Structure 1
Amino acid sequence: MSVFCVRPATVGDLAGVIRLERATAEAPHWSEAEYAAAIEGGGDYVRRCLFVAVADDGVAGFAVGKVAGDLAELESVAVDLSLRRGGVGRALCGAVIAWCQQERAVAVELEVRLGSHGAIGLYRGLGFVPVGVRPRYYSEPVDDAVLMRLDLSKSA
């Protein structure tokens, strides 16, 4: 595993984020403009963040978070396939969670494929707990979504 650092994304990271996202089948596929808006941060009520993990070869992973009012969502996490299970995803999620706390969110929610056992294990390790299921939420392949929640008022 190469050394990496996690930091807020800049416009210069967009090409690497898009390249990684396109190579990650399970990632939500957003437009470059949507990622650019996340870098800009959003407005007064809905705010976004985009963090990148950068290694020697460029963008090794990224995570997007959103806060609306006092509720946050971990919208997307993607890590280069060759670097998974090396702490990149945990570090990215930690950066988004810390940002959500700074933004005064009381909880962070997410949805994850039922079949993504590694991701579910990561989220459980960060303190997220399952709170529901959305049947057949995902397509290609069809899968249920597990809804998970991290109560920040308990961890603050």
Structure 2
Amino acid sequence: MTIREMQLDDLEQVLPIEESNFSVPWTANGFFSFLIREDVHLLVAEENGQVLGYCGAILTPPESDITNICVRMDSRRRGIAVELFSKLKNDLLSKNITTIHLEVRESNQAALQLYKKLGFVQDGLRPRYYEVPVEDAVLMSWRYQ
């Protein structure tokens, strides 16, 4: 498996993954607008020409906000999300980012467990942050020690 920067050509494979994982998925235009921004860092995990997952962050040094970490349903439980975050974290540290924030649905126990395993701590709740369905967001942060 290779982890590399996301390219425009990857959207053909990224969009179906996004659509199968989120009730309000990003559109092609949404991804495109982030791909052309200099303050956004997007990665894909690829194996044999197939995108297995992706992640990204918006950079506001010395902090950043994760946009998403997402893995194809048929490729989960292989450590891909951990590998994606590890590469993302190292890339961000090289850009003087020392704090990484994210929001996650309160009901997404698998993601909450993953983020805790990766060293994120809960900072608070953002009521009614998500739509379809309406749900609170758990706010979490990772800080370089």
Query: TM > 0.5 between the two?
Result: yes
3, 7, 12: which one pairs with 1:6? 3
Q: Provide the rounded CA distance (Å) in 1 between the counterparts of 2:94 and 2:19.
A: 30
Q: Is the 8 A contact 1:64 1:75 kept in 2?
A: yes
Alignment partners' CA distance in 2, 1:104 and 1:57: 32
Residue segments in structure 2 that go unaligned for 5+ positions in a row: none
1:36 paired residue number: 32
Q: For the structure 1 residues 38 and 102, does the alpha-carbon distance in structure 2 shift closer, same or farther, using more than 3 Å as the test?
A: farther
Higher mean C-alpha deviation, range 9-18 or range 111-120: 9-18
How many angstroms does 1:150 deviate by? 0.5
Structure 1: which amino acid aligns with 2:26? W
The AA in structure 1 aligned to 2:81 is G
| d(CA) in 2 for partners of 1:102, 1:137 | 31
Q: State the number of aligned residues.
A: 145
d(CA) in 2 for partners of 1:34, 1:138:
17
- Contact 1:35/1:50 (8 A) holds in 2: no
Which stretches of structure 1, 4 residues or longer, exceed 6 Å deviation after superposition? none
Tell me by how many angstroms 1:5 deviates.
2.0
Displacement of 1:34 = 3.4
1:50 equivalent in structure 2: 42
Using the TM superposition, name which of 129-138 and 30-39 deviates more: 30-39
1:71 deviation in Å? 1.1
Structure 2 partner of 1:129: 121
CA RMSD of aligned residues (A): 1.7
- Which of 12, 15, 18 aligns to 1:18? It is 15
The whole-number CA distance in structure 1 between the counterparts of 2:49 and 2:10 is: 12
What is the CA–CA distance in structure 2 between the aligned matches of 1:110 and 1:7, rounded to whole Å?
21
Residues of 2 paired with 1:25 and 1:34: CA distance? Answer: 14
Shift of the alpha carbon at 1:124?
Answer: 0.8
Q: Which of 91, 95, 102 is residue 87 of structure 2 equivalent to?
A: 95
TM-score, length basis structure 1: 0.84
Using structure 2 for the length normalisation, give the TM-score: 0.90
Contact 1:133 1:145 in 2 (8 A): yes
Give SS of 1:12's match: helix
